[in-house]
Structure 1
Amino acid sequence: MVDVSCIIINFNTSKYTIDCIDSILKNSTKQLSIEIVVVDNASEINDFKNLKRHINDLNGQVRLVRSKQNIGFGAGNMLGVQYCEACKYYAFINNDTLQVSDNCLYELKSFMENHPDVAVCSPQMLDEDKNFRVTIDHFSSIQREILRRPLLEFLFPKTYLDRKKRYDTPTKVHYIQGSFMFIDAKDFNQIGGFDTNLFLYYEESDVCRRLLKEKKKYTYLIPELEYIHYKGASTSKNILIKIEQKLSLLYYIRKHYGWFQHKILLFYYIFRYFFTSIIKPKYWKLFFILLGGAPISKSLKQRQKINQLQSETI
């Protein structure tokens, strides 16, 4: 059994993935047994070949799995899980990240072993200039979406921690960003892992919430450990991504709060984006999807084509 199985997803950004792999290998101690599984989410063939060449040069230190279809964040990570050896912990790491702290994975493992009530933890995220970047967030809810985070943090500071504060000790939070999630493998497996109905957003919030609800285990930020995240490098911003975010959010609300609260939030967004669309016409597409009930069938997941090239595994 290995200590940590690291899972990385590549989608047309092999340069970031290669740097991420090298960063993990460079900053890992021999005290820790690790494996790295890279899932290529049906990238363009040249990007995949570039990644494959580098991994071949690592002489078996990294396993590469090529999906025939872009299956998204949650399903991509779950595909990676299927190729992992038996392990004590999973480290789900975005490909556009770099390890900063020496022996980061070993230190996270030590923290988890000393805190059996914790299921998920993460280092502090930094930007490419090593400046502070928000790493924690509050579980999504009608209150958060309508009243907004700053007001909730002001009114209920114990429940809604200040996301923009630089903490100096391990801190219990609602959830941490999905760019670096260190998770107890047994707990993760027992709740069924990531919800693969979610294509791009809210997977980390959903899994942390389920671990809290089903396993009574917590999520922690470990601020003395750090990593760099080139945020957004692997996801372009456009109206389709905005639509995907709202579809995922409404799915999440229905799943965790029920039909009534889902409808309240849906009607709020219909009202809000009607007026937004008058000023910014590109939002009419989102408005009409909301008006139709914002079904998850409108997700980008349903628009991914299957690559006829044979799936390749290294």
Structure 2
Amino acid sequence: MLDVSCIYVNYNSATFTVAAIRSLLEKTNDTVVYEIIVVDNGSAYEDYELLKTSLEQLKSSAIKIYRSRINTGFGAGNMLGVNFASPSKYYAFINNDTLFTQENTLFDLKLFMDTTPDAGVCGPQMMSENGGRISSIDHHATPMRQLLKRDVLEWINPKKYPKRKKIYLHPVSCGYVPGSFMFVKASSFNQVGGLDTALFLYYEESDLCRRIATCLGEKTYHYPDQAYIHYQGKSTDKNINIKIEQKLSLLYLTKKHHGRLAHGFLLYFYTIKYLLTSPFSSKKRKLFTALLRGGSLNQSLRCKQVLQEK
């Protein structure tokens, strides 16, 4: 059994993916036995060819590449990687727009998990490309969080909702860590059924950490002794369709974990909110229309993906 299976998903960003994997290879030594699974998630064939050729030039037997001819989204893309992974003690789900910055990151995360019996997930400190710290913990996407906002929850119950903007010097348990780098106990991941592939983008990490906590009683930890760079937004263009996708995922997750009443309340709340602002913005009118249609996942970007010819 391997120590870690590292899973990357590429979508029309081969240059970032290759740089990310090169940084892992350069910063990881033989103290950990690992493999790198790369899933091309329906990229244009030219990007896939660039990815494949560039990875071959790295000359590492640890790298395996697989191609899906259709973009299945974040969760399903990573689950495809899990499907091809060797038996491993841990999965490391790492965004392709990241860079390792410290030595032995995988070994340190493994050691922390090995010596922390109640840990199911952990994640290192996220940094910007300019070296600034980025909040690396978050609270679950509940109706309460959407209405009261994070700062209020942190003020009301700091034990349950640790401050996101605080600089932590020691590991701290939290709701969930960013999906840009999640280090997960494989047995726990498999036991709860992995990532929810109904979600095309957003909230997959919140959903996973919640299920691991609820079903297995295992915690998610922020591990500040290791850090990585995340080029935020480089792998996903920000536009109104992405914002709509975020709301659709939130509504789906609300129904899944909090029931129809909470889902209906949140849908009503956002519909009224964007009704009042939509006359002044064509983008918000598009979002309002999606909510008016019920905010269901049948409007997801998943339904608009096209099968690549090769």
TM-score above 0.5: yes
1:164 corresponds in structure 2 to 165
The question of whether the paired residues in 1 share the 8 Å contact of 2:44 and 2:308 is answered with no
Distance (Å, rounded) in 2 between the aligned partners of 1:164 and 1:115: 24
State whether residues 5 and 86 of structure 2, in contact with CA within 8 Å, keep that contact through their aligned partners in structure 1: yes
Deviations 1:84-118 (A, max 9, x none): 10000000000000011210000000000001210
5+ residue gaps, structure 1, are: 310-314
Alpha-carbon displacement from aligned partner over 1:137-161 (angstroms, at most 9, x marks no partner) = 1001111101111121122222211
Is residue 190 of structure 2 the alignment partner of residue 183 of structure 1? Answer: no
2: distance between equivalents of 1:249 and 1:159? 21
Contact 2:23 / 2:99 at 8 angstroms: preserved in 1?
Answer: yes
- Code of the residue aligned with 1:11 in structure 2: it is Y
1:17 paired residue number: 17
Identify the residue that residue 47 of structure 1 maps to in structure 2: 47
Q: Percent identity?
A: 47
User: Secondary structure in 2 aligned to 1:137?
Assistant: coil
Note if contact 2:145-2:153 (Cα within 8 Å) is conserved in structure 1: yes
| Residue 59 of structure 1: how far off its partner (Å) | 4.5
Cα distance between partner residues in 1 of 2:218 and 2:200: 25
Within 2, Cα distance between the matches of 1:185 and 1:202? 20
List aligned pairs for 1:39-118, cutoff 5 A. Answer: 39-57=39-57, 58-118=59-119
Distance 1:15 1:159 in 2: 40
Please show how residues 211-222 of structure 1 align to structure 2 within 5 Å. Answer: 211-222=212-223
Alignment of 1:200-215 (within 5 A): 200-215=201-216
C-alpha distance in structure 2 between counterparts of 1:221 and 1:92, whole Å: 15
Does 2:283 match 1:282? yes
**1:6 counterpart SS class:** strand
* Paired amino acid for 1:199: F
The CA deviation string for residues 253-294 of structure 1, in whole angstroms up to 9 with x for no partner, is 000000000000000000101112122222111111111211
The separation in 2 between residues aligned to 1:122 and 1:37, in whole angstroms, is 19
User: Could you tell me how far apart the structure 2 residues matched to 1:119 and 1:206 are?
Assistant: 13
Aligned ranges for residues 115-130 of structure 1 at < 5 Å?
A: 115-130=116-131
Give the whole-Å Cα distance in 1 for the aligned partners of 2:198 and 2:98: 25
User: Residue 136 of structure 1: SS of its match in structure 2?
Assistant: coil
- The one-letter code sitting in structure 1 at the alignment partner of 2:53 is R
Counting matched residue pairs gives 309
> Amino acid of the residue matched to residue 201 of structure 1?
Y
| Counterpart code for 1:34 | Y
Which stretches in structure 2 are left out of the alignment for 5+ residues? Answer: none
Output aligned runs, 1:266-305, within 5 Å.
266-305=267-306
Give the alignment's Cα RMSD to 1 decimal.
0.9
The one-letter amino acid paired with 1:194 is: L
Partner SS for 1:187: helix
Which range moved further: 156-165 or 203-212? 156-165
Structure-1 separation of matches of 2:253 and 2:17: 29
Tell me which residue corresponds to 1:312. Answer: none
Alpha-carbon distance in structure 2 between the residues aligned to 1:166 and 1:276: 36
Letter in 2 for 1:94: N
Task: Report which stretch shifted further, 140-149 or 240-249.
Answer: 140-149
SS at match of 1:169: coil
SS at match of 2:221: strand
TM-score by length of 2: 0.98
- Runs of 4+ with deviation above 2 angstroms: none
Distance in 2 (CA, whole Å) between partners of 1:77 and 1:292 is 30
Change (3 A) 1:26 1:298: same
Quote the Cα distance in structure 1 between the aligned partners of 2:275 and 2:290. 11
Q: Deviations over 1:42-97 (max 9, x none)?
A: 11112111111122222433100010100000000000001110000000000000
Q: TM-score normalised to the size of structure 1?
A: 0.97
1:173 aligns with 2:174: yes
User: 2:144 is aligned with what amino acid?
Assistant: Q
Determine if contact 2:34/2:62 at 8 Å carries over to the other structure: no
